[in-house]
Amino acid sequence: MKQARNTRKSRASQGEELIIKDKFLQERAANLKPINPMTAKQRVYMDLINTKPVVVATGYAGTAKTYLPTAMAADLLRTGKIKKIIVTRPAVSSSKSVGYFKGSEIEKMSVWLNSVIPIFNERLGPAAFEIALANKSIEFIPLEVIKGMSINDAWVLSEESSDLTKEEVTKLVTRMGRNSKLILSGDIRQSELAGESGLLWISDFVKRHNLSKNFGFVDFNDINDIVRSDSVREFIVALVRDEKKGIK
**Span 56-95, pLDDT tens digits:** 999 998 899 999 999 999 999 998 899 999 999 886 443 4
Q: Which of the residue ranges 81-90, 120-129, 134-143, 223-232 would you say has the lowest mean pLDDT?
A: 223-232
Instruction: Report yes or no: 15 and 26 within 8 Å, Cβ to Cβ.
Output: no
Other beta carbons within 10 angstroms of residue 145's beta carbon come to 12
Q: Which of the residue ranges 3-12, 23-32, 43-52, 172-181 would you say has the lowest mean pLDDT?
A: 3-12
Residue 105 backbone dihedrals phi, psi, to 5 degrees: -60, -40
Report the distance separating Cα 248 and Cα 238, nearest Å. Answer: 12
Average pLDDT over residues 201-213: 90
Q: How confident is the model at residue 201, as a pLDDT?
A: 93
Handedness of CA 12, 133, 74, 214 (dihedral sign): negative
Write the CATH number for 114: 3.40.50.300
The alpha helices in the chain, defined as continuous H runs, are 2-13, 22-30, 40-51, 67-78, 105-112, 117-124, 126-134, 143-146, 166-173, 198-208, 230-245
Domain count, the chain: 1
Whole-structure pTM value: 0.81
Q: How confident is the model at residue 110, as a pLDDT?
A: 63
Report the distance separating Cα 65 and Cα 160, nearest Å. Answer: 10
Handedness of CA 7, 108, 153, 79 (dihedral sign): positive
Q: How confident is the model at residue 50, as a pLDDT?
A: 97
Domain residues for 230?
Answer: 2-245
3-state class of 224 per DSSP? helix
Per-residue confidence band for 111, with pLDDT thresholds at 50, 70 and 90: low
Query: Is it the case that residue 99 has pLDDT exceeding 60?
Result: no
Pairing of strands 85-88, 155-158: parallel
